[in-house]
Amino acid sequence: MKIALFAGDGIGPEVIAQAVRVLRALDLPGLSLTEGLVGAAAWRATGHPLPNETLAIARASDAILFGAVGDFGCDHLERHLRPEQAILGLRRELGLFANLRPAKAIPALVGNSALRPEVAAAIDLLIVRELNGDVYFGEKGRRATSAGLRQGYDLMAYDEAEVSRIARTAFEAARRRQGRLCSVDKANVLETSQLWRDVVIEVAADYPEVELEHMYVDNAAMQLVRAPGAFDVIVTGNLFGDILSDQASMCVGSIGLLASASLNEGGQGLYEPIHGSAPDIAGQGVANPLATILSAAMMLRHSLDSGAAADRIEAAVATALDHGARTRDLGGTLETEAMGDAVLAALEQQGSLAA
C-alpha cells in the first residue's frame, strides 16, 4: 500500500497527522507512507506549488491522502503559481476525472444541521462531480472590450467523451446503491449543459435498471434544502458539483465531516476532506480531523482493496461521536489531537469487543 501524503497548507498538516495515526493503528500489511510538498508550502520551498519531485511521488503511489492548499499570502502571485494549482495539476496529470462526495446523516449530529432534524436525518446521497473539464480547465484570460473596459473570461466546455465517462461512473454508483440517478445541469440556458443532458440520456440506455431524472442546478440547490432525502446519486459538472457538494455538507451538519475521492480510470485516487486550508484557525489545534480520517477510509475502500479496514474507521468515527466527542465546529471543545484520540480509543474498543 504505497500512499503519498501531501499535507499542504493551513490546517492540512494538523488533520493529516490524525489520519496517519489512525492508519498506523490499523496495522495494515505493506503500508508505506511518503510525504511530499504541495501548495504554498511547496512554492515557498521550491518556487512552484506542484514540484516535479511531488508529482513523481504521486505517480508512483497507489493513492494520495491530501490535506488542503490555500494561503492568503500567495494571492499576489500569478495564477499558475498559486497554491490551488497543486490540486488542479494533480487532477490533470493523473487523469483524476471522477470526484465522489458522499453526504450521509450521522444520527448523533442531526441536531447540528441547519435543517429540521427529520429532514436532515433522511440524507444519504452521493455527488459524482466531473473534475477535468468545465470553466476550471477551459481557456481563461483578460481582454479589453470595444469600449476599452477590462473583461475577464472563462470558457465552459465539455466534449461527449468526458460526459460519457463521468455518466458511466455515476450510473455504476447508482446501480450499487438505490438505483436512482439525478443529472444536474442548466440545459435551458447553456449549450454545454444541453450536450451534457443529451449524452447522459444516451448512456442511460445501457443502464435500464437505474431510474434517471434531470434537474436544473438552481432547482437542485433548492431541493437539497427542501428534501435532501429524495436524492440517491447526483451527477454534475465541475462548477455545479463544487457548489452543491459544499451545500450538502452543511445540510449534514458541518463541512468538517465530509470526505471525498478523486479517481482515475485505473483506480488510483486522491483523497481529501472537502474543507479548505482554513488559515484563520491554522496552528491553533482546533480543526476537525474527521473528514480527513473518513477520507482515509474512502482511500482504503476504493484504491487499496481494504473495505474491512475502511468499515472499522467509519465505525470508530461513529462511536466517537455517539460518545459525545465534538470539536469546536460541532459545538464542542475538543482540540484536533483529542478528537484523534477519541477515534483511536473507539478503534481499540473494537479490538476488545472482537476478543
242 tagged catalytic: yes
Q: Which of 71, 136, 158, 185 is catalytic?
A: 136
And the C-alpha cell for 100?
465522489
Which residues are registered as beta bridge partners of 181?
A: 212, 233
Write down the catalytic residue from 71, 134, 232, 242: 242
> Which candidate in 62, 124, 246, 341 is catalytic?
246
Q: What is the maximum span of the chain, computed from C-alpha positions, in angstroms?
A: 77
Annotation marks residue 9 as catalytic = no
How far is Cα of residue 262 from the mean position of the Cα atoms in its chain? 7
Judge residue 147's burial from the number of C-beta atoms within 10 Å of its C-beta, 0-12 exposed, 13-18 middle, 19 or more buried: exposed
Identified catalytic residue from 154, 218, 305, 322: 218
Which position among 186, 207, 271, 329 bears the catalytic label? 186
136 part of the active site: yes
**Residues 177, 209: Cα–Cα separation, whole Å:** 12
Q: Which amino acid is at 236?
A: T
246 as an active site residue: the answer is yes
- Cell digits of residue 147: 469600449
Distances (CA, A) of 235 to 76, 173, 222, 308, 316: 35, 10, 16, 27, 29
For residue 3, CA distances in Å to 14, 57, 69, 261, 335 come to 18, 9, 19, 14, 26
Catalytic residues: 136, 186, 218, 242, 246
